[in-house]
Amino acid sequence: MKTEIKALVFDAYGTLFDVHSVISACDQKFPGQGPILSKAWRAKQLEYTWLRSLMGRYEDFWQVTESALVFACESLGLPCPTVTRAELMQAYLHLQPFPEVSQALKALSGYSRAILSNGSPKMLQAAVASAGLQGRFSHVLSVDEVKIYKPSPRVYQLACDGMGLAGTAIGFVSSNFWDVVGAKNFGFWTCWVNRSKVPQDELGFRPDAVVPDLTGLVDAVKV
């Protein structure tokens, strides 16, 4: 077991919660367009976090997510009046957890566990509650505290400050490779949950472990 690791810190979106579980809600509004709308929405959501961080013009993740939805709909020629927008945004408060999440967290109960996410506090609280994961995390940390998005080192510092631990005592887990790179650059032990079986980006860092889902993390921390 990696005795130096005292806590495991998880990304939320794409790691614990399936962002593409909004497809069903999108399909209800725009039949047959759910998958392409969800993909465009997510891509623009992430792009806006990076651009806002670089510009120094922070808006919380709820606003970023809504702006990304508006753009995605416009880019696909889909009408997005206020009512439609509000209903699709509500889907983001009730994302489905990946099927192995609950059991994996239970198996990792020997570690302190936390969430460190771009999500706003309201969004994270709603997602955790909707997924039935209350009580599984000692901390649910949002970038809203520092008003900048991942992969800024200021975000990863939140985990150290919030949990009272040095970076070497924290294992960071994300399905987003750019997030893993940010955490590795900061000094965390990292695990990439490569759900999509995609190549690693060429950004000068490699994760300490690569697993197909969170079940694999249980074995990875024992090595």
CA distances from 192 to 44, 173, 178, 212 (A): 22, 6, 10, 8
The token pair at 64 is: 């970023």
Q: Which of 214, 217, 221 is nearest to 17 (CA)?
A: 214
- Which entry of 11, 18, 144, 179 is annotated as an active-site residue? 11
Helix 34-55 to helix 61-75 angle (10° resolution) is: 130
The token pair at 36 is: 């392409």
Give the C-alpha separation, 49 to 57, whole Å.
10
Helix 82-91 to helix 61-75 angle (10° resolution) is: 120
SS3 9: strand
Q: Are 131 and 97 in contact (CB under 8 A)?
A: yes
Is 60 part of the annotated catalytic residue set?
no
Residues facing residue 190 across a β-bridge: 172
Q: Which of 184, 222, 175, 223 is nearest to 203 (CA)?
A: 184
**Which residues are identified as catalytic?**
11
